[in-house]
Amino acid sequence: MLDDFMTRATLAGVGVAFAAAPLGCFVVWRRMAYFGDATAHAAVLGVALALALEISIFAGAMAVALVMALTVNFLAGRGYGMDTLLGVLAHSALAFGLVAVSFLSGVRIDLMAYLFGDILAVSRGDLLVIWGGAALVVALILWRWSALLTATLNEELAYASGLRPKREQLILTVALAITVAVAIKVVGILLIAALLIIPAAAAQNLARTPEAMAMIAAGIGATSAIAGLQGAYIFDTPAGPSIVCVAAILFVALTLIGWGARRLS
């Protein structure tokens, strides 16, 4: 079964959707959209370092994404606004990554595959990495779900409950770095933030509870991956962008349905 490249691609897309769905909900609730985008951009530098050191792309991308996220957390509130820090670090890391790639002599690299994904080239080994990373992200979120939700809704309530919001932020940071690393092969560095945000934003129109929103977001993400791949196969379009296009269409449709339901109620 796994010899069929479309089967492998579908499994990869669904795996990334399951990882991105619950995390994307927290990104939406915490208004961290630009944070996710900045972490993804930093992964370009991780790809370049991984190729230079001849180590796993997953390991290199995750390490640099994690360093980027931790740096932002450390520098926030120390004289610069969060949006300023994210802008400086994200674009700097992207630029340094692209320059570093140009110095890699003797290494064949398809930069477009890393920027926009190459899901149709997913191997069995890639599937193990994607589903292993997705399982780790889901396990982290489930383990700290209540604490993460409390810290997101009200930091003062979190402190009163004996929680440490900074620790919960660190857990989200680690989960985000893992998700960025596993999603590179599927939708690419430039579209990772879209797969995090769009399904979660679409799920807001249907969900009545945070748990329902996470589950609906996972369903929307998986549907986007499957339909996007089918559309790419039929119309011969890029697979990663096609997945994001389907997610965007679902977002618009569900937003209109939600708006109509509110008007009628």
Question: How confident is the model over 16-37, as a mean pLDDT?
Answer: 87
Residue 204: left if φ>0, alpha if ψ -120 to 50, beta else—which one? alpha
Q: Which fold has domain 5-190?
A: ABC transporter involved in vitamin B12 uptake, BtuC (1.10.3470)
Span 37-48, average pLDDT: 83
Which residues are CB-contacts of 83 (< 8 A; sequence separation ≥ 6)?
34
Q: Which has the closest alpha carbon to 211: 52, 10, 26?
A: 26
* Contacting residues for 61 by C-beta, under 8 A, at least 6 apart: 43, 46, 47, 50, 180, 181, 184
Using a 10 angstrom Cβ sphere, with 0-12 exposed, 13-18 middle and 19 or more buried, the burial of residue 102 is: exposed
d(CA 94, CA 40): 9
Instruction: Give the model's pLDDT for residue 239.
Output: 92
With 70 as the cut, is the pLDDT of residue 185 above it?
Answer: yes
The CA–CA distances, whole Å, from 73 to 34, 39, 112, 200, 227 equal 13, 12, 30, 23, 36
- Which segment of 42-46, 57-61, 78-82, 167-171 scores lowest on mean pLDDT? 78-82
Q: Is the pLDDT of residue 3 over 60?
A: no
| Predicted confidence band of residue 107 (pLDDT cuts 50, 70, 90) | low
